[in-house]
Amino acid sequence: MQVVEASCGQCHFAMKEKGCTLAVRIDGKTYFVNGTYIDSHGNSHDDDGFCNVIRKEKVKGEVVNNSFKASYFKLLPPEKKKDD
C-alpha cells in the first residue's frame, strides 16, 4: 500500500475529460482511477471534497493502460491547517 494525492483530475490536476473524475498523483504523474468513483467518498463539491481540495489517500492497485486500477482506496483524515 502507498499514500498518494487524490483529487478531481479536471479541477486540480489539469487532466482532460468531461465532468469531474477521480484521479491520483503518483510520483508526479496523474492517473484517472478505476475501481472507485469521485462521489463514493463524499460529495465532491463539499468544502473538503475532491473538487475543492487535494486529499491524501491510502491506496493499493496498479497502473494499467495509463489508469490506476484501485483494489483498495481509503480516504485519510484532512491535514490540519497551521492555524488550527
Q: Where are the domains of the chain?
A: 2-75
CA distance 51 to 17: 14
Per-residue pLDDT, averaged over 52-66, amounts to: 94
Q: How confident is the model at residue 8 (pLDDT cuts 50, 70, 90)?
A: very high
**Number of helices followed by number of strands (H, E) in the chain:** 1, 5
Question: Does the pLDDT of residue 84 top 60, yes or no?
Answer: no
Per cent of the chain over pLDDT 90 is 76
Per-residue pLDDT, averaged over 24-43, amounts to: 93
Q: How confident is the model at residue 17 (pLDDT cuts 50, 70, 90)?
A: confident
Question: Does the pLDDT of residue 82 top 80, yes or no?
Answer: no
Q: For the chain, what is the mean pLDDT? A: 91
